[in-house]
Structure 1
Amino acid sequence: MSLLDALADRDRVFDFLVPASSPVDVRHGPILYLEDVNVSFDGFKAINNLNLTINDGELRCIIGPNGAGKTTMMDIITGKTRPDSGQVWFGSRHNLLTKNEPEIASLGIGRKFQKPTVFEALSVFDNLELAMAADKRVLPTLTARLSGEQRSRIDEVLETIGLESLCGRQAGILSHGQKQWLEIGMLLMQRPRLLLVDEPVAGMTEQEMERTAELLTSLAGKQSVVVVEHDMGFVRSIARQVTVLHQGSVLAEGTMDQVSNDPKVIEVYLGAEEEA
């Protein structure tokens, strides 16, 4: 597959399309704000009066048992699912409930799904170049020589995701963990303000998990990062602030030690894991 062919595959390109700069204003509040959000599917209340605030540059971990509403929450933020009621704001100016998925992506919200979706026939370098070019929608840019600034940006992201030595390798032969890092790199090429990362260490080796923890913690401060994860050991290794969801609403928030010792959390989530 060539770069031109890959760019023509709009559905896949759109998975990581976010802008080079974001118009979000956080001078008067958090970067992401959900208030009294409700969603029902065929009578089942997936989200129940959900209130959540994410600050600019924060690394937040979201945990909770299956069916707690974690995926639905991310679907709402990215415009895939419309809530029945409530408010969702990105910065102080952008009401996400009035925007569709492309418009939300253009504001600087990037989503990393559990299964990596990279262009396996292309090199690591080409994947990053494609992510940078995709926002412009100008095919001739793919045949033009990269500017010094563009090359520097790719080199910077390669260093961040730890794939400098593999930049010429075909993405399809990377390990599972390396593909996950590459897809995060593709998001980073566009300098998003908010990253939503879904179960990033599922299927990883212990060494890959350690590297992923280093990568995500290094991003905090540069971007706001929301990590949904089931592996409690991994969450403990990166968590600064943890939100526990249960039955579509926030059950508890705090440090990992605080939520781990919360009787309500032990009963509905951590205690259930110990019994399993």
Structure 2
Amino acid sequence: MSLIKSLSQRDRVFDFMAPAESPVDVRHGPILYMEDVTVSFDGFKAINDLSLTVDDGELRCIIGPNGAGKTTMMDIITGKTRPDQGQVWFGTRHNLLTMNEPEIATLGIGRKFQKPTVFEALSVFENLELAMTADKRVLPTLFARLDGPARERIDEVLEMTGLAEQRRRPAGVLSHGQKQWLEIGMLLMQRPRLLLVDEPVAGMTEQEMERTAELLTGLAGKQSVVVVEHDMGFVRSIARKVTVLHQGSVLAEGSMDEVQNDPRVIEVYLGESEEAA
């Protein structure tokens, strides 16, 4: 019997609670636990007996060649894709495979996709306001008034993302990097316990990449952050622990130096380069 099975029972879904109040128990294990997860698409195993753990407050980088299963892994965690077998737990009490996408988001798992999605006609402040965990029905939204704590939270996120001076500007006029930071800020407004970030520096300038590195490393300890990224220079700048995926499984794990010097990793990346050539 697995460790998680011995510690846990199927839990209720606290869908009325904000993520900050979500009862995620990490006293007996990691905040994210995946065990023997497999998913196939038309006979192809996109994920193959994947086992992975992420600790509370950890910053983890996930790397791997194209087709390694990185996106599918995040789809499984967020409820978009159901695996054929395996277990996925949030803390030791929440079986994510019994929940849908909104329920998983309510528990405190936020996901940022590669392409930023913001409301370009609205100001930066208004984007953050709309992203707050609240009643999103039409009438409550129209007549809502921000209280002191809500404004303080928006100001805090503006400072964290480096967008304080842009607060009144329409999101549509921001640079690509600023839009990425705004979308991260919109997720932070919901106070996630686990933040999944997909290729955050794609298309960024070097200066924007440095600022993004500061933002993500600053979140570590406050949230658990999983970063999927292809830019190895950026990964090295933020990495504490790196997991290398290949053919849907964990190939190697450790520090950046350890995985870069692993003969199996070298072979996989060299093989991909030769195929591309």
Q: Same fold (TM over 0.5)?
A: yes
Q: Does structure 2 conserve the Cα–Cα contact (< 8 Å) formed by 1:131 and 1:189?
A: yes
2 CA distance for matches of 1:144 and 1:74?
33
In structure 1, the residue corresponding to 2:19 is in which secondary structure?
coil
**5+ unaligned residues in a row in structure 2: which ranges?**
1-17
Other-structure match for 1:257: 257
Other-structure match for 2:75: 75
- Number of aligned residues: 258
2 CA distance for matches of 1:155 and 1:270?
46
Could you report, residue by residue, the CA deviation over 1:43-87 in whole angstroms, capped at 9, with x for unpaired residues? Answer: 101111000000000000000000000000000000000000000
State yes or no: 1:219 paired with 2:222: no
Cα 1:271/1:255, change in 2 over 3 Å: farther
1 CA distance for matches of 2:264 and 2:39?
23
Other-structure match for 1:146: 146
In structure 2, the residue corresponding to 1:127 is in which secondary structure?
helix
The aligned amino acid for 1:75 is D
Other-structure match for 1:197: 197
Q: Does structure 1 conserve the Cα–Cα contact (< 8 Å) formed by 2:62 and 2:242?
A: yes
1:142 CA displacement: 4.5
1 CA distance for matches of 2:42 and 2:150?
48
In structure 2, the residue corresponding to 1:79 is in which secondary structure?
coil
2 CA distance for matches of 1:125 and 1:62?
31
Q: Does structure 2 conserve the Cα–Cα contact (< 8 Å) formed by 1:266 and 1:272?
A: no
- What percentage of residue pairs aligned between the two structures are identical? 84
1:94 CA displacement: 0.3
The 5 Å alignment of 1:154-173 reads 154-173=154-173
Other-structure match for 1:6: none
In structure 2, the residue corresponding to 1:179 is in which secondary structure?
helix
State yes or no: 1:137 paired with 2:128: no
2 CA distance for matches of 1:20 and 1:146?
18
In structure 2, the residue corresponding to 1:125 is in which secondary structure?
helix
2 CA distance for matches of 1:64 and 1:49?
16
The aligned amino acid for 2:146 is L
1:143 CA displacement: 3.1
Cα 1:128/1:165, change in 2 over 3 Å: same
2 CA distance for matches of 1:135 and 1:269?
45
Other-structure match for 1:29: 29
1:24 CA displacement: 1.0
Q: Does structure 2 conserve the Cα–Cα contact (< 8 Å) formed by 1:260 and 1:270?
A: no
1 CA distance for matches of 2:130 and 2:207?
28
Other-structure match for 2:177: 177
Cα 1:115/1:107, change in 2 over 3 Å: same
Other-structure match for 1:118: 118
The aligned amino acid for 1:172 is G
The aligned amino acid for 1:120 is E
Other-structure match for 1:14: none
1 CA distance for matches of 2:142 and 2:54?
36
1:147 CA displacement: 1.1
Other-structure match for 1:12: none
2 CA distance for matches of 1:206 and 1:273?
24
Could you report, residue by residue, the CA deviation over 1:187-223 in whole angstroms, capped at 9, with x for unpaired residues? Answer: 0011100000000000101110000000000000000
1 CA distance for matches of 2:206 and 2:47?
33
1:234 CA displacement: 0.3
Could you report, residue by residue, the CA deviation over 1:215-268 in whole angstroms, capped at 9, with x for unpaired residues? Answer: 000000000000000000000000000000000000000000000000000110
1:97 CA displacement: 0.5
Other-structure match for 1:104: 104
Aligned-residue Cα RMSD (Å) equals: 1.5
Q: Does structure 2 conserve the Cα–Cα contact (< 8 Å) formed by 1:22 and 1:192?
A: no
The aligned amino acid for 2:98 is T
Q: TM-score, normalised by structure 2?
A: 0.90
Q: Which runs of 4+ in 1 moved over 6 A?
A: none
Q: Does structure 2 conserve the Cα–Cα contact (< 8 Å) formed by 1:21 and 1:192?
A: no
State yes or no: 1:64 paired with 2:61: no
The aligned amino acid for 2:164 is E
Q: Does structure 2 conserve the Cα–Cα contact (< 8 Å) formed by 1:19 and 1:135?
A: no
In structure 2, the residue corresponding to 1:182 is in which secondary structure?
helix
Q: TM-score, normalised by structure 1?
A: 0.90
2 CA distance for matches of 1:273 and 1:24?
42
1:146 CA displacement: 1.6
2 CA distance for matches of 1:63 and 1:20?
29
**5+ unaligned residues in a row in structure 1: which ranges?**
1-17
